[in-house]
Structure 1
Amino acid sequence: MESTETAKDDMPDSSINTNSNVAPLVTGSLWRAIWIMSWPLLLTTVANSLVGMTDLYVAGKLGSISQAAVGLSEQIIFMFLLFIMATGTGTTALVARHWGEGDREKAFKYTAQSLIMAVMMGAGLALASSLGAHFALAPFTKSPEVTGLCTIYLGIFSLYMVPFSVVCITNAAFRAIGDAKTPLAIVSTFTSLSILGDILLVMNNWPIAGLGIRGIAYSALTASTIAATLALYKLSRSELAPSLKMVNQVIPEMIRRIVKIGIPSALQRMAWATSTFVLFFILARCPMPTESLASWTIGMRVEGLMFMPVMALSMAVSSIVGQNLGAREIERAYKAGWQVAWIGIGLLTVMAAVLFLSATFIANAFSKDPTTIAYVISYLRVNSLSEPFLALGMILGGAFQGAGDTKTPMWITFMTNWVIRLPLAYFLALHLELGPTGAWWAMTLSVVIMGFLTAWRFRSRSWTELHV
């Protein structure tokens, strides 16, 4: 490892942006900073979503059992990836804070420590996923065919977690310093290669015939490995390059700080993810379980399109808030949170209105079953009422994460999902026999409360005083 003095010599002047992709987040127009960060992150989010959609589409060509196996396997893998993504949350908060302070050396060190931690975690989770696949599948399917294909798929796909960890952390570090274009290039490369691999290996049986579901897993693994290599190359050519010279030393105190921020973020994501499983079981007990679950799946996929711009804005505000707190521009950080939130509220209000008015058309496009169509219409119309509050909660939640306050979003998510949404969904859907429409109203009410609670906490400004 290079000495501290050498590392300092490698550092660019804090007042100069040597990378044209790095946006100035603590000076100049806030609106410009928001725009420069947001549009690449929106495209990155879209590119990410295309991979999962393509995997399911291609698996469907192999049959319903293969499609079910891919869908279930990727849900299980997602639960493992939560921990790596949580490390990325800690990376963004800490690197952005020190970058805003002008302390480049600490920003480099936190990037290096995050890479070490995430790669080790990815390797451990890959091993656990591969060895424990059969046990993880037991609660979700009794079909031996689905279980068999899932085990095969997970045996290969679990290795994806190692290169994913590299991509996740490098992208988090790039976002932290105000570079949203490099993550877009990395994710676009992964998406293009993964989709191309699906088409060649599975749909065209080239260059190896008969891979079936294995082809989808090999495609993702190959694409992610190339993307990870590209990520490290981009890192070596960026203002964060000195961090690569620091990956041969573990600094326990820095690891502890990353974990301190990351664990609540992981628990927040787990609280949300596990609540969806419980809601699944509630809907499965409704009088028309097949139609209820089908309408929920369709509704979630359509509503997922609305998550994309909000997710992009949430990631953008996280970096902006983190850097401005580091630069002691407290008022600018506070103002940034509200400006981005209002952009999201306005955008989702318009999208929700379109969703409400076109609910019948959308439902008929996805299903031919009259009951499923009726449930989808009610899902889209009821949930459209909560979309502005979803934007409010998710974006200000991103601001909290940028400030290093991951406990507030964790507790709000736990309370609104487990204390409000699930008990109310059970009561309305099953006890009052309102069926899935009762569950939709429970979802909407919980999102409205989530938005108000997050805004109330944000206005307190206590997060601006948090030491990370």
Structure 2
Amino acid sequence: MTKPDLSTSPRAIWHLAWPQLLMMYLVFIMGFITVWVAGHISADVQAALGMVTQCTMLLMVIVMAMSSGALAAVSQSMGAGHMDRARRYVTTTVLGSCVLGLLMALPGWLLADPILALLRVPERILPLSREFWNVVMLTLPAQYIYAATGVMFRATRQVMPPLWVAALLCLLTLVGSLGFGLGSFGLPAFGADGILWTNFAAQSLGALCNCLLLRRSRYLHRRAIPDRRWLRVGLPYLLRVAIPAGAAQIVWQTGYLMLFVLVAALPRDSIAALAGLTAGLRVEAILFMPGMAFNMTAGVLVGNCLGAGQPQRARRIAWQLMLIASVAMSLVALALWPFRQNIACLMTDDPGTQAQIVNYLVFNLISTPFSIASTVMGGVMNGAGATRYNLMIFGGGLWLIRLPLGWLLGHQLWGTATGVFAAMLCSQCVQALTMLYILLCRDWTRFAMQAHKFHHDHAVSAAQQATAKEES
């Protein structure tokens, strides 16, 4: 295993960012294809897919929390030159994701009916949603592993292998969804089942390929499996970062589920609004996925700088990436503005759903500079290990502003989805401004691993042992 280039020069940043940017667009294309095929089957299929997909994201919070902690630990370990520690964190994360995926899938499958009832899924799409849910639970372990290994590639600055894997999965999703979903390419049309089993195949293949590639690069290896002594030292920091990250994910995903519940319970046009929200979120990914690429790039670079004991460089990189991402994606949003109706027509043939997609895009495109800025700054906090700020700010913006305001405007005053979408814009503005205050005015670098007493005590102990050995 060769030591990676940890430079923070503009050239190094670009080489780290563009493969992630391209990979995020491949992920967007996969999601877009799925929703597009579902919309051309029926609005009911599209709405049921949206409900189940959003609920699945709630189940992903554990692995994403663990990955957030591991990203901070791995990137900071590499910045400090501790490659063995980085390998142990990678191996622990991948093995843990496999176990957690199995533990989450079984109760999720057994509790399908209570979960769907809790979500207040409309009766018309309940049978479809139940069928979707069963297949998605079968897919969950592979989805956990694929998600965790993807984060580990980025944390170790290996951005090309997951890009090739994502390209392969995108091709598989395209052929499988169009072929087995709509009957294209001479394949039998299985409708919604074709979409679901194609996703199962793609996630399974992605998990297998990523594990093999991590093993090839020797970050995932049997000899890197940590013993109990190392876990007593290494796990406390990972948990200190992961627990607030997990709580933030739970708060965020449950909030988005409640957003779907708000839309599903609207007094008028709830099914069309639900399908429009599902499709609109996929279109939003055109802007959000590049923001996530900058989010992950910021996390890795900030982690490397803090691991190397360079907090001022970490602050400078965080500020630069936030400005670049916000300006670039705002220009993309401006370019998309005249084509809102065209995009809606591409997503579905149903006129009611088209109107709701356009309605959603109006508010979403306006919020772009705020949503991208807060996304990148959230990545900065992940890399620094300051995930408690993400919990407080994103959770507060969603539960204290977006949902209450969405209920007030959508259910009490206007009675339409417009109120819910307007509330989303307001919460994005508040989140971005609060995160900007934290970035500029608070000491978020103090959460780095070097300041963590477990690793500090371990380093002191190791130094004392080495000194004693030399003296003897």
How does the TM-score come out when normalised to structure 2? 0.83
- Counterpart position of 1:351: 332
**CA offsets 1:173-195 (integer angstroms, 9 cap, x no match):** 22112221122122222332343
Contact 1:236 1:244 in 2 (8 A): no
CA distance in 2, matches of 1:109, 1:300: 36
- Counterpart position of 2:245: 265
Q: Return closer, same or farther for 1:222/1:370 CA change in 2, 3 Å cut-off.
A: closer
CA RMSD in angstroms comes to 3.2
CA distance in 2, matches of 1:332, 1:37: 17
Q: Return closer, same or farther for 1:70/1:277 CA change in 2, 3 Å cut-off.
A: closer
- Structure with the largest fraction of helix: 2
Query: Where in structure 2 are the equivalents of 1:316-355 lying within 5 Å?
Result: 316-355=297-336
Matched, 1:183 2:123: no
Q: Return closer, same or farther for 1:291/1:236 CA change in 2, 3 Å cut-off.
A: closer
- Counterpart position of 1:81: 60
**CA offsets 1:246-265 (integer angstroms, 9 cap, x no match):** 33746255344333322322
How does the TM-score come out when normalised to structure 1? 0.84
- Counterpart position of 1:405: 386
- Counterpart position of 2:400: 419
**CA offsets 1:94-131 (integer angstroms, 9 cap, x no match):** 10010110011111111111122111101111212222
- Counterpart position of 1:453: 434
**CA offsets 1:201-223 (integer angstroms, 9 cap, x no match):** 45459999686544434333333
Q: 1:132 is matched with which residue: 82, 106, 111?
A: 111
Structure 2 unaligned residues grouped into runs of 5+: 450-472
Q: 2:171 is matched with which residue: 186, 189, 192?
A: 192
Q: Return closer, same or farther for 1:174/1:366 CA change in 2, 3 Å cut-off.
A: closer
Q: Return closer, same or farther for 1:315/1:69 CA change in 2, 3 Å cut-off.
A: same
- Structure 1 SS opposite 2:118: coil
Q: 1:99 is matched with which residue: 78, 81, 93?
A: 78
More displaced 10-residue stretch of structure 1: 399-408 or 195-204 = 195-204
- Counterpart position of 2:454: none
Q: Return closer, same or farther for 1:384/1:67 CA change in 2, 3 Å cut-off.
A: closer
CA distance in 2, matches of 1:366, 1:196: 18
Letter in 1 for 2:367: S
- Structure 2 SS opposite 1:285: coil
Contact 1:296 1:376 in 2 (8 A): yes
Letter in 2 for 1:104: M
CA distance in 2, matches of 1:133, 1:272: 21
Letter in 1 for 2:374: G
More displaced 10-residue stretch of structure 1: 265-274 or 426-435 = 426-435
Contact 2:105 2:137 in 1 (8 A): yes
CA distance in 1, matches of 2:282, 2:262: 19
Identity across matched positions, percent: 27
More displaced 10-residue stretch of structure 1: 251-260 or 334-343 = 251-260
Deviation, 1:85, is 1.8
CA distance in 2, matches of 1:357, 1:86: 38
Contact 1:425 1:438 in 2 (8 A): yes
- Counterpart position of 2:14: 35
**CA offsets 1:324-370 (integer angstroms, 9 cap, x no match):** 11011212111111111111111122123234444455556667888
Q: Return closer, same or farther for 1:372/1:386 CA change in 2, 3 Å cut-off.
A: same
Letter in 1 for 2:247: L
- Structure 2 SS opposite 1:138: helix
Q: Return closer, same or farther for 1:319/1:285 CA change in 2, 3 Å cut-off.
A: same
CA distance in 2, matches of 1:297, 1:320: 33
Q: 1:279 is matched with which residue: 234, 250, 259?
A: 259
Contact 1:355 1:380 in 2 (8 A): no
Q: 2:422 is matched with which residue: 427, 430, 441?
A: 441
CA distance in 2, matches of 1:49, 1:40: 14
Q: 1:245 is matched with which residue: 211, 223, 229?
A: 223
- Structure 2 SS opposite 1:413: helix
Letter in 1 for 2:117: A
Structure 1 unaligned residues grouped into runs of 5+: 1-10, 18-23
**CA offsets 1:261-284 (integer angstroms, 9 cap, x no match):** 223223222322322333344444
Letter in 2 for 1:313: F
CA distance in 2, matches of 1:151, 1:415: 32
Contact 2:28 2:282 in 1 (8 A): no
More displaced 10-residue stretch of structure 1: 73-82 or 273-282 = 273-282
Q: Return closer, same or farther for 1:456/1:60 CA change in 2, 3 Å cut-off.
A: closer
Q: Return closer, same or farther for 1:35/1:286 CA change in 2, 3 Å cut-off.
A: farther
Q: 1:391 is matched with which residue: 362, 372, 378?
A: 372
